[in-house]
Amino acid sequence: MKQISHDPRLVIVVIMVTVAMGALDAVSLTHLKVFTGYMTATVILIAVHLTSGESVAGPGVVAITAYLAGAALGGRLVRRSYSRRRTVADLLTGVGALVLVAALIWWQDAAWRYYATLVVLAIAMGLQTSATRHAQVTDLTLPAATMLLHGLMHDSRLAGGPAKGAWRRVAAILALFGGAVLGALVSSVSVPIAIGLVGLLIGTAGGLLYVGEHPLLERLETLGPL
C-alpha cells in the first residue's frame, strides 16, 4: 500500500487542535453534561441517561442540531476555490473566534448562558470537524482515541505493518489526554477561562497556516512523510 505523505504544517496544526478538543471535551462533559464536539458520546449519553431517569435529551438534541448546522456551513466553506492550507486556516480562526464568544457568554451570570454556550460551541465544533477533515491527516479527521489506538497497532511491526505514522498517532493520543487534563484542571477554577484557552489555541493553530516563509517553520516543511 502506498504511504500517504501529509503536509507537515497541517499535521502540527491538527495536533494542536487535538489538544484543544481534549480540553473542550473535558469542560463540556464536566459543566455542560454533554459533549459539543464528540457526537458519538453525546448520543450514547442521551440513551444512557434516558434509561437511568436522568435525561439529558434536551441539551443533547440541541448540541447535535447545532453541530449539524456547523457541519453544513463547514461543508460549504471547504468547497471554495482556495488552497487546503488557506481553507483550514480560515475555518480554524473562525472556530477560535466562536469559542471565545462562547467563553464570554458563559461569563455572564444569566439563566440563558447554558444553552447559548452549548449552541455556539456545538456550531464551532461542526466547523472544526470540517476543517480537520479537509486537512486529510490520517486518523485525525476527528480527534478520537479509538482510531488512533487502532491505527497504531494495526499498522505496527507486531501486526506486520510498516509502522508509518506511529509518532503522529502517539503525539495525538498524548495531546488528547493532556488537553483533557488541562481542561479539567482549568475549568475547576474558571469555566470561561478554560473555554477561552481552547479558543486561543484553535485560533493560534489557524493563524500558523497563514504564516508564509519563516525560519522557525522551515523545519516543518522538511520533515518528510508524516
Give the pLDDT confidence score for residue 1 in this predicted structure: 39
Domain 8-207 has CATH 1.10.3470: no
Tell whether the model's pLDDT for residue 219 goes beyond 80.
no
Average pLDDT over residues 125-140: 89
**Residue extents of the structural domains in the chain:** 8-207
Tell whether the model's pLDDT for residue 126 goes beyond 90.
yes
Per residue in 47-101, pLDDT (tens digit) is 887 776 666 778 889 999 999 999 999 999 999 988 999 999 999 999 999 999 9
State the SS3 of the chain.
CCCCCCCHHHHHHHHHHHHHHHHHHHHHHHHHCCCCCCHHHHHHHHHHHHHHCCCCHHHHHHHHHHHHHHHHHHHHHCCCCCCHHHHHHHHHHHHHHHHHHHHHHHHCCCCCHHHHHHHHHHHHHHHHHHHHHHHCCCCCCCCCHHHHHHHHHHCCHHHCCCCCCHHHHHHHHHHHHHHHHHHHHHHHHCHHHHHHHHHHHHHHHHHHCCCCCCHHHHHHHCCCCC
Give the pLDDT confidence score for residue 53 in this predicted structure: 62
Tell me which of 17-21, 121-125, 139-143, 196-200 is least confident.
139-143
Per residue in 13-42, pLDDT (tens digit) is 999 999 999 999 999 999 998 888 888 888
Model's pTM, two decimal places?
A: 0.86
Give the pLDDT confidence score for residue 198 in this predicted structure: 97
